[in-house]
């Protein structure tokens, strides 16, 4: 068996140069993808918007964004490259995104998700998002309803405990991948990589 070099996951702020890679994931992830210029506009002109991405080595494998609106972090988009799904990348990214929202002063986080998108809903539930309403016929391609999901206060104890639990799962993923020789290098904790939600501190 040939040993593979350890792959390091990093979380970065999205830059204009990342848009082609991000847009490739967007096209593979959504029936009505945002055009590339929408990302450019978000990065250049929307002062309320923040976008993060995950790199595996040099490759962009996931991205997500939020708008900071009246104390609320509204998740605008969230996607993982198909080949990289079910490997904890989405979990890693949401951890970083909620940490960023909290740092920016958001009290809660909210998002819309297709009712039928059970993969995303399960991921969001891990982070304490719960259904609070429906936007009827929100998605124009098939008139599907959107489920509105919201978290409790990001700084509340239960929410912090939940985030700390997810951070432990991410650290566990890293340990297992390091042993298998396919993941981040040993000792490369979520805090060091910038997700920041690796502790119980409120
Ligand atoms: C939804 C999405 C972001 C999940 O990303 P991912 O990297 O595969 O998720 P993770 O591997 O981190 O999984 C974390 C948790 O999410 C849930 N989950 C993820 N994919 C799932 C699936 N296909 N079925 C059921 N649960 C799933 C599980 O609870 C999982 O935890 P577990 O591994 O302990 O069971 C990814 O499938 C995606 O990009 N989909 C297309 C775009 C999209 O729908 N975005 C959301 C728009 S609202």
Q: Which atom in ligand 1 lies closest to the alpha carbon of residue 81?
A: 39
What tens digit of pLDDT does each residue of 145-175 get? Answer: 999 999 999 999 999 999 999 999 999 988 8
Q: Please tell me the distance between residue 1's alpha carbon and the centre of ligand 1 in angstroms.
A: 30
Q: Which atom in ligand 1 lies closest to the alpha carbon of residue 120?
A: 1
- pLDDT score, position 6: 59
Alpha carbon nearest to ligand 1 atom 16, residue: 123
Alpha carbon nearest to ligand 1 atom 15, residue: 123
DSSP string, 138-167: EETTTTEEEEEEE-S-TTSHHHHHHHHHHH
- pLDDT score, position 143: 97
Residue 40 pLDDT greater than 90, yes or no: yes
Block residue for tokens 């919201």: 150
Active site residues: 112, 124
CA distance 141 to 52: 26
Instruction: Pick the more confident residue, 169 or 194.
Output: 169
**Among residues of the chain, what percentage have pLDDT more than 70?**
85
88 lines ligand 1 (CB under 6 A): yes
Predicted TM-score of the model (pTM): 0.89
- pLDDT score, position 184: 44
**Among residues of the chain, what percentage have pLDDT more than 90?**
81
- The domain spans of the chain are 9-180
- pLDDT score, position 174: 86
Which among 126, 118, 63, 115 has a CA at the least distance from the CA of 89? 63
For domain 9-180, say whether CATH 3.40.630.30 is its number: yes
Which among 93, 88, 13 has a CA at the least distance from the CA of 49? 13
Q: Which atom in ligand 1 lies closest to the alpha carbon of residue 75?
A: 48
- pLDDT score, position 1: 47
Alpha carbon nearest to ligand 1 atom 3, residue: 79
Q: Please tell me the distance between residue 202's alpha carbon and the centre of ligand 1 in angstroms.
A: 26
Alpha carbon nearest to ligand 1 atom 27, residue: 119
Residue 88 pLDDT greater than 50, yes or no: yes
- pLDDT score, position 53: 98
Residues in the chain: 202
């Amino acid at each position: 068996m040939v040993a593979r070099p350890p792959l390091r996951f990093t979380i970065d702020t999205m830059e204009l140069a990342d848009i082609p890679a991000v847009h490739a994931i967007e096209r593979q992830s959504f029936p009505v993808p945002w055009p590339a210029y929408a990302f450019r506009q978000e990065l250049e002109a929307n002062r309320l918007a923040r976008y993060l991405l995950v790199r595996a080595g040099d490759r962009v494998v996931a991205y997500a964004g939020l708008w900071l609106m009246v104390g609320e972090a509204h998740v605008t988009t969230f996607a993982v490259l198909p080949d990289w799904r079910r490997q904890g990348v989405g979990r890693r990214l949401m951890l970083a995104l909620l940490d960023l929202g909290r740092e920016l002063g958001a009290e809660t986080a909210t998002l819309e998700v297709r009712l039928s998108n059970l993969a995303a809903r399960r991921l969001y539930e891990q982070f304490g998002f719960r259904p609070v309403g429906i936007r009827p016929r929100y998605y124009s391609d098939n008139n599907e309803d959107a489920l509105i999901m919201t978290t409790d206060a990001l700084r509340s104890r239960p929410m912090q405990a939940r985030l700390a639990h997810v951070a432990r799962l991410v650290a566990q993923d890293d340990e297992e991948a390091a042993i298998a020789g396919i993941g981040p290098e040993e000792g490369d904790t979520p805090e060091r990589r910038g997700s920041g939600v690796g502790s119980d501190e409120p």
